[in-house]
Amino acid sequence: MKGTKYQARLPDQKGYIHYPEEEHQIWAELIARQSACIQGKACDEYMAGLAALDLPMNRIPQLSEVDSVLLDATGWQTAQVPALISFERFFELLASKRFPVATFIRSREEMDYLQEPDIFHEIFGHCPLLTNAAFAHFTQTYGELGLAASPEERVFLARLYWFTVEFGLVNSPDGLKIYGGGILSSPGETQYAMSEQPERKPLDVVTAMRTPYRIDIMQPIYFVLEQIDQLYDLAQQDLMAHVRRAQQLGLFAPSFEMKKNVS
């Protein structure tokens, strides 16, 4: 597993995590910038979840504050984790309706992009949609499938997660919108995803599973849902049969320069 320079902050005996003032300031700058950036671009379901969470603008929230909203909405809660966890632990948590949140925040040198998911990415990017029943159900189902899958099968499942939960787009009565947390927590990707530059395709599970991606570039391809409730329908499908089909067919040629160990 790749290393990281970041270290998660641990809760005290009462479950409270103490962050330095500089880290609260980084949160304040990130949330102010991104809240403005996503206006008119994020899907309604995400915006409703963001309003329900009512995240503080001047400090990093405590996980218990987020949990109180998620539990009432869908029975989910967060789980405090180190900066990096194993795939096994990741799937385990999702399967039990607990969303892993690494309790560190990016440095000023990496305000625009970092490879590790920090607390801003997880809470601002993903937790709002965990108030939505379809998104929450799909995420739990993904965890259950990943827990039972082989390492080879998990690679194909990971591509589906990437092109939905992380980098998914959705149609709406008001036009194309964003629901993927990897986009919604990044100012550059938010602007780029809604521009004319990338290719967009209707979401087909096997096609998404066969599409290579890189984590360190703007995505050349996005997959689009017809509506968020489609995630519930996807969770009812035999996704492991789709994995086997994708394995048989093999990967598409990448639309970018490959690096070693690319999914």
Main-chain phi, psi angles of 226, to 5 degrees:
-80, -35
Q: Is 123 helix (H, G, I), strand (E, B) or coil?
A: helix
Mean of the per-residue pLDDT values of the chain: 95
Q: Is 25 helix (H, G, I), strand (E, B) or coil?
A: helix
Kindly give the interhelix angle for 133-148 and 63-74, rounded to the nearest 10 degrees. 100
Q: pLDDT tier at 262 (50, 70, 90 boundaries)?
A: very low
**pLDDT tens by residue, 93-128:** 999 999 999 999 999 999 988 889 999 999 999 999
Catalytically active residues, by annotation: 121, 126, 166, 185
Residues 6+ apart with CB under 8 A from 261: none
Nearest of 3, 194, 2, 186 to residue 110 by alpha carbon: 186
Percent of the chain beyond pLDDT 90? 92
Please spell the DSSP secondary structure of 40-92, one letter per residue.
Answer: TTB-HHHHHHHHHHT--SSSPPPHHHHHHHHHHHHS-EEEEE-S---HHHHHH
- Residue 263: what pLDDT? 45
**pLDDT tens by residue, 138-160:** 999 999 999 999 999 999 999 99
- Residue 3: what pLDDT? 75
255, pLDDT greater than 90:
no
Main-chain phi, psi angles of 144, to 5 degrees:
-65, -45
Nearest of 158, 169, 167, 139 to residue 246 by alpha carbon: 158
Nearest of 230, 146, 192, 161 to residue 41 by alpha carbon: 192
- Residue 1: what pLDDT? 47
- Residue 260: what pLDDT? 55
131, pLDDT greater than 60:
yes
- Residue 2: what pLDDT? 60
Residues 6+ apart with CB under 8 A from 100: 78, 79, 81, 85, 89, 90, 93, 94, 122
Q: pTM, whole model, 2 decimals?
A: 0.94
What's the token pair of residue 41?
């671009």
**pLDDT tens by residue, 181-223:** 999 999 999 999 999 999 999 999 999 999 999 999 999 999 9
Other beta carbons within 10 Å of 102:
22
Strand pairing class (175-178; 199-202): unpaired
Residues 6+ apart with CB under 8 A from 156: 209, 210, 243, 246, 247
228, pLDDT greater than 60:
yes
- Residue 44: what pLDDT? 98
